[in-house]
Amino acid sequence: MEKKEIVLSGIRATGNLHLGNYFGALRNFVKMQNDYDCRFFIADLHALTTNPDPADLHVNVKNIVTEYLAAGIDPEKATIFVQSDVPEISELYLLLNMHVGIGELMRTASFKDKARKALGIKTDSSTPTSPEDDNIEKEIIGSDSNKRVNAGLLTYPTLMAVDILIQKANKVPVGKDQEQHLELTRRFARRFNSFYKTDLFPEPENYTFGAAAVKVPGLDGSGKMGKSEGNCIYLIDEDKVLRKKVMRAMTDEGPKEPNSPVSLPVQNLFSLMELTSAPEVVEQFKNAYADCSIRYGDLKKQLAEDILAITRPIREHIIELRNNDEYIGRVLRQGAERARYYAAETLREAREVMGIRKFY
């Protein structure tokens, strides 16, 4: 049998999945599972970096697994597992950290962001290289033990690199915000391989979905749909909730003269429509915009129904699955077993090349 390329992706166990996750990732995962050896996991250890309430953590894990399955990830085709079910990851994380520089971790953009949040320093996130960045190191070192930047946050990229390298993944489908982490993963792999004169870790590449790469806008007239932006449509939203959110989406006063430029909030609604509605329908509303006959209320009604046509079957499936702990348990145990099989082998090889050998 021809060996398929290995695809790995993880999602942090925080909150429910939204349309951005669906169009940006999930929908593509469902396609990829036919062509690749796909391994999808819930990153509960990564979630710990922001110290969640212990009562929430496993609920979040269960939600995400359920949503993955409901959206069409097939446990017979892909491996679905929970990160903490693979203890080999934690051990390799310790080993790999011996070759990771504190400096390079501190310079990571996502670390600076999270460190600023942890210390309560406000900055304009649209300017990631603001002058404050130069002082963040000082702030961290000077911070007391109440307001601290935990070491787990600093070594987040090491853990992510291990997720990838322990599975010897070739392709990692992640969004733009994760590209720097992937770059670090490649660097760590190269460094480890050359230090120990081995070819243990393949260098993973980002898997972009080509033309299918989409940006899913939020409903608040600003940029991207995101958990922390509070502008999301969730897969689990009930019809009523979803309709209400769409009807309240930001627009403008409407075009005053034919062929007016489209404002960002309205463009966002068109973009959502392009993802969810039939091309003729999008065309019809664009023409109505151009000749000033558009009524945003009609557009929103249509958009809500077209989104529901996608999310409703997924929601129904989620509700059905979430009462079936037996099935979810079986999927995760089987996934963990497969993931551990590969992880244990990689860890064994890593220990061997590093010289951790039994001589007694």
Among 6, 7, 9, 92, binds ligand TRP (CB under 6 A): 9
- For residue 275, count other CB atoms closer than 10 A to its CB: 19
Among 172, 249, 307, 308, binds ligand TRP (CB under 6 A): 172
Which residues within the stretch 208-267 sit at the binding site for ligand TRP (CB under 6 A)? Answer: none
What is the rounded radius of gyration, in angstroms, for the C-alpha atoms of the chain? 23
Q: Is 8 in the site for ligand TRP (CB under 6 A)?
A: yes
Among 6, 7, 10, 302, binds ligand TRP (CB under 6 A): 10
* Residue 224 is among the residues annotated as catalytic for this protein: yes
Please provide residue 82's backbone torsions phi and psi, each rounded to the nearest 5 degrees.
-100, 130
Q: Is 163 in the site for ligand TRP (CB under 6 A)?
A: yes
Q: Is 321 in the site for ligand TRP (CB under 6 A)?
A: no
- Exposed (0-12), middle (13-18) or buried (19+): which is 271, by Cβ within 10 Å? middle
Across the chain, the runs of DSSP E, i.e. the strands, are 6-12, 37-43, 79-82, 171-172, 205-206
Compute the distance between CA of residue 152 and CA of residue 226 in angstroms, rounded to an integer: 23
Q: What is the DSSP letter of 116?
A: H
CB 61 within 8 A of CB 44: yes
Among 12, 27, 245, 300, binds ligand TRP (CB under 6 A): 12
* Residue 256 is among the residues annotated as catalytic for this protein: no
Q: Is 61 in the site for ligand TRP (CB under 6 A)?
A: no
Catalytic residue among 114, 168, 171, 245: 114
Q: Is 19 in the site for ligand TRP (CB under 6 A)?
A: no
Among 7, 13, 38, 43, binds ligand TRP (CB under 6 A): 43
Q: 3-class DSSP state for residue 152?
A: helix
Q: Is 178 in the site for ligand TRP (CB under 6 A)?
A: yes
Interface ranges with ligand TRP (CB under 6 A): 8-12, 43, 46, 160, 163-164, 172, 174, 178, 181
